[in-house]
């Protein structure tokens, strides 16, 4: 019985983490500092461990489902998602540099690293040809 209770707690934790990630991804649709795609991918990974129903809903979602499936099958993202993420990170870095007084270079450094990693990932259109 103890193992069953532990398994329920672990699944609940994955479900909560998936829900928080999905909310952050949704907020990222409106705030340039939060990237939507990585949070949605994280939510899908968490839901795969915590709730089959939530995972299925996310995979069947018309907007998020194709990106998640491409990521799982090919570790690929749509070109538009890559371009939009990099542009929004650049805009966010400029805004952060204007607002911050100390360490104003730090967001740019982090965004540069993320942009390099993101750009090196396979692109969905390139895989399907």
**What local confidence, expressed as pLDDT, does residue 121 receive?**
86
Beta partners for 123? 77
Mark whether 67 and 84 lie in a shared domain. Answer: no
Do 57 and 34 belong to one domain? yes
Q: Which residue range is the domain that position 99 belongs to?
A: 78-123
Query: Does residue 56 fall inside a structural domain?
Result: yes
pLDDT of residue 33: 67
Domain shared by 68 and 16, yes or no: yes
Co-location of 16 and 36 in the same domain = yes
**Residue 79 backbone dihedrals phi, psi, to 5 degrees:** -60, -40
SS3 75: coil
The sign of the CA dihedral 56, 57, 62, 65 is negative
The single residue listed with the structure tokens 């990932």 is: 121
129 is written with which tokens? Answer: 């040809």
Q: Are 18 and 48 in contact (CB under 8 A)?
A: no
Residue 13 resides in a domain? yes
pLDDT in tens, the chain (129 residues): 567 888 899 999 999 999 999 999 898 888 766 778 889 999 999 999 999 999 999 999 998 898 899 889 888 888 888 888 888 888 888 988 899 888 988 988 988 998 898 889 888 765 544
Q: Domain count of the chain? A: 2
């Amino acid at each position: 019985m103890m193992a069953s209770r532990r398994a329920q707690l672990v699944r609940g934790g994955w479900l909560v983490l998936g829900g928080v990630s999905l909310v952050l991804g949704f907020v990222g649709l409106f705030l340039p500092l939060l990237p939507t795609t990585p949070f949605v991918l994280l939510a899908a990974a968490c839901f795969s461990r915590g709730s089959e129903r939530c995972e299925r809903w996310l995979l069947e979602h018309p907007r998020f489902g194709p990106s998640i499936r491409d990521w799982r099958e090919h570790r690929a993202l749509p070109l538009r998602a890559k371009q939009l993420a990099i542009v929004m990170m650049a805009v966010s870095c400029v805004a952060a540099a204007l607002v911050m007084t100390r360490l104003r270079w730090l967001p740019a450094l982090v965004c540069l690293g993320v942009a390099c990693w993101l750009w090196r990932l396979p692109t969905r259109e390139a895989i399907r040809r």
